[in-house]
Structure 1
Amino acid sequence: MLQAPTDAKCSDYAPLPSPVMTGSGTSGSVAVKLHPLVIMNISDHWTRLRAQNGKPLPVFGALIGKQVGRTIELLNSFELLYLEINDEILIDTDYYYAKEEQFKQVFKDLDFHGWYTTGGSPTELDMKIHKQICDIIESPIFLKLNPQAASTDLPLNVYESVIDVTDGNAVSRLVTLNYTLATEEAERIGVDHVARVSNVDSNSVSYASEHLSSQHSSISMLYTRVRLLRDYTEAVRKGELPRDNEILRLLNALCKRLPVLGAESLTSDLHNQYNDVTLMTYLGVMSKGSQTMNQFISKFNILLDRQNAGRRLRGLFI
């Protein structure tokens, strides 16, 4: 977990005077790798609230990821609940801890590293919220996205809090962190889909849309032809069409070539595959248990040998 430049928490210092940013000579202590999923989650969160309320509203959420050395990789995020009392924002910490516990059950290797919001440059209100987050984690990462920015660049900045001394008082200020975008295969597919399909002025489609469209067309064609054969057999059975034995023989041969869900062979193959997967899982568990037991026995033997050697030495000098 990140440590502040001093032993004290950033929430322990005096109220922040304006401005909230440090001087240009101060640099961040960590590097940040930002995944597109985090940006998409924040954008979706802000867009939903705007559609529901009819006006843009600030949003708040938690950032989770991994830390290796001085590099933080932000992989995911989730929304936070808050109360607005007398123009003051109070984060619901009980909701955060409940949500964090749920995420830990699925993503055990991800930790809480900071929070996000929307808007322009950081303000004193952001710093007050930042101090609330400091009660959960020391020196959290702060990400701010501006959805209404007119710039063609990515309209977000990442900050961390540092301790600055002004007029003999130690205060918490923000310093801008450098970040890089890190993507995985699934994220690249999702970003390509959003970039192509969401652009109303473009006729291009994403690779995922092309793949899904081809599958939909194949299933639709199969459904149309099967329905045609069914309607034909119904019409022959009701006497609406003449009976053609050649067509019926072809239909019978075609039906026999299709697998039936209730067939014994299909059920047997399914059970065999399920048993194979279960056996592989049990084998992995047993192998891991055997390895752990082997390590335990090796350490126990080393300690036992040291104890016996000590007894022999004491016997020689008594």
Structure 2
Amino acid sequence: MATSADANPLLSSQKSSDSGLQAVLHPLVLLTISDYITRHALRDQAGPIVGALIGLQHGREITIEHAFECATLPKDGDIILNADWFGRRLDQMKQIHKSPQLDLVGWYTVLPKSGPTPSILPIHNYLLAEHNESSLLLAFHSDEAVDHSVGSKLPLTIYESNYEVDEPRAGDQGEDKEMRDGEPPLKLKFRELPYSVETGEAEMISMDFVARGAGSATVVEPRELNQPGKDTKGKQPEGRAEEEVGEHILSRDDEEMIAALTAKANAVKMLQSRINLLTTYLERLPPSYLSTSNSPRVEGQASDGPHTTPSHTILRSIQALANRLSLLVPSNTEAFEEEMLSEANDVHLMGLLNNVMQSMTEARGVGKKFSVVEGAKNHTRKVDNVMVVDRGSFLQGPGDLNV
């Protein structure tokens, strides 16, 4: 913390555990921030990314439940909030979230990993003076969001602010220090807060909807613009037009299947990464931990590269995990295979019954069509016979005179 405080003068030199304050973050806030950043980048919008955070405060615990974007204005080279717009928007959000009553707990923006910059001070000072004297700052690190890895930490940092004495460094003035009368000036400092992620029942529905949408997402190429010299008066064939329109349309069953397969694939990737981590940890143990009395030690084995510090707690956990693997294998393999075969036969039987029912439905449809065709043919024969009889009644007899 001291190194970061020396690099960034806005960071506090105190530890985050001194205040006892803790933040609880909800996933809807992350979805709102990511959606705002994505729209801001795709539309090439100018200006900073600024939004407000609303939630509850219970003692030394602050919950961040919702977020909304804010309008900003330039003033004297700085960026400030549009006070009138922000006041109306905050009142609307308070009316929407009345049970429980939510209030402003902080704001968010995009910052580098090094910490806050002087450009955020006008907005933060305004929120401290007008709305909440203990407003938090959520800094989203967009660079880390691009280069993230599976199971890594969220690309954000939550800060609390307080006024501290700006003491000079020991090496700035040497042994001789200047004596000043009065109290030393106070400056605004930011201190990193520990946070945890908490998900509610309503948020699980939103997360499931987002997961389904991400599972069925496809890359759509941009539509080509009509060239000046290209003739577009001719009509395209009907079949080709329908094929182009329905190329990226998926049914609901396909979307659910893709979402389920995507979730399983992500789970397998996570499991594989954890297995690789355990394997790497065991391979980098010192040779004394790898060699046993029964297995001969190969010369030069596990001696190259740095070794990890052995942890008996981790080794016991790995041993317990390996011992539990035998419980997953059924004791009676033959009975297990028979049960699996019976389940497979039931599935195939249900599939055959489904095919038979579909065939019966199709045969019934063919029978209905055949009866309609035969009825039309019989009706045509009757009409022809009636016309022949009527035509014979007008024929002249052998004794009739043709005038």
> What band does the TM-score fall into relative to the shorter chain?
0.5 to 0.7
Does residue 125 of structure 1 match 2:116?
no
Q: Which is greater in Rg?
A: 2
How many residues are aligned here?
A: 202
Matched residue SS, 2:191: strand
Aligned position for 2:68: 78
Matched residue SS, 2:143: coil
Q: Post-superposition shift, 1:187?
A: 2.0
Matched residue SS, 2:34: helix
Q: Post-superposition shift, 1:70?
A: 1.5
Counterpart of 1:37 (choices 12, 28, 37) is 28
Report Cα offsets for 1:40-95 as digits up to 9, x if no partner.
1011011101111178x631111001122221111101111001245310111211
Aligned position for 1:206: 259
Q: Which consecutive unaligned segments of at least 5 residues does structure 1 have?
A: 1-16, 211-231, 245-318
Aligned position for 2:58: 68
Matches within 5 A, 1:93-242: 93-108=83-98, 109-120=101-112, 121-135=115-129, 136-149=131-144, 150-151=147-148, 152-167=152-167, 168-195=184-211, 197-198=213-214, 205-206=258-259
**Structure 1 counterpart of 2:159, one-letter code:** Y
Q: 1:53 to 1:20 in 2, by over 3 A?
A: same
Counterpart of 2:40 (choices 34, 39, 49) is 49
Aligned position for 2:252: none
**Structure 1 counterpart of 2:92, one-letter code:** Q
Determine if contact 2:15/2:191 at 8 Å carries over to the other structure.
no
Does residue 90 of structure 1 match 2:90?
no
TM-score, structure 1 length as denominator? Answer: 0.55
**Structure 1 counterpart of 2:135, one-letter code:** P
Aligned position for 1:295: none
Q: Post-superposition shift, 1:103?
A: 1.5
Q: Post-superposition shift, 1:106?
A: 1.6
Instruction: Give the whole-Å Cα distance in 2 for the aligned partners of 1:133 and 1:122.
Output: 16
Instruction: Give the whole-Å Cα distance in 2 for the aligned partners of 1:84 and 1:61.
Output: 16
Q: Post-superposition shift, 1:29?
A: 4.0
| Aligned residues: CA RMSD | 3.6
Q: 1:87 to 1:241 in 2, by over 3 A?
A: farther
Q: Post-superposition shift, 1:205?
A: 3.6
Matched residue SS, 2:206: helix
Relative contact order, CA 8 A, sep 6+: which one is greater? 1
Report Cα offsets for 1:262-313 as digits up to 9, x if no partner.
xxxxxxxxxxxxxxxxxxxxxxxxxxxxxxxxxxxxxxxxxxxxxxxxxxxx
Q: 1:114 to 1:54 in 2, by over 3 A?
A: closer
Aligned position for 1:255: none
Report Cα offsets for 1:210-254 as digits up to 9, x if no partner.
9xxxxxxxxxxxxxxxxxxxxx9xxx9xxx96669xxxxxxxxxx
Q: 1:128 to 1:105 in 2, by over 3 A?
A: closer
Matches within 5 A, 1:234-253: none
**Structure 2 counterpart of 1:170, one-letter code:** L
Q: Which consecutive unaligned segments of at least 5 residues does structure 2 have?
A: 1-6, 168-183, 219-254, 264-364, 377-403
**Structure 1 counterpart of 2:203, one-letter code:** E
Instruction: Give the whole-Å Cα distance in 2 for the aligned partners of 1:148 and 1:83.
Output: 26
**Which has the larger strand fraction?**
1
Q: Post-superposition shift, 1:117?
A: 0.6
Instruction: Give the whole-Å Cα distance in 1 for the aligned partners of 2:21 and 2:132.
Output: 16
**Structure 2 counterpart of 1:122, one-letter code:** P
Q: 1:205 to 1:127 in 2, by over 3 A?
A: farther
Matched residue SS, 1:19: coil
Determine if contact 2:80/2:122 at 8 Å carries over to the other structure.
no
Instruction: Give the whole-Å Cα distance in 2 for the aligned partners of 1:18 and 1:183.
Output: 33
TM-score, structure 2 length as denominator? Answer: 0.44
Q: Post-superposition shift, 1:18?
A: 5.5
Instruction: Give the whole-Å Cα distance in 2 for the aligned partners of 1:242 and 1:101.
Output: 74
Q: Post-superposition shift, 1:193?
A: 4.6
Instruction: Give the whole-Å Cα distance in 2 for the aligned partners of 1:83 and 1:18.
Output: 26
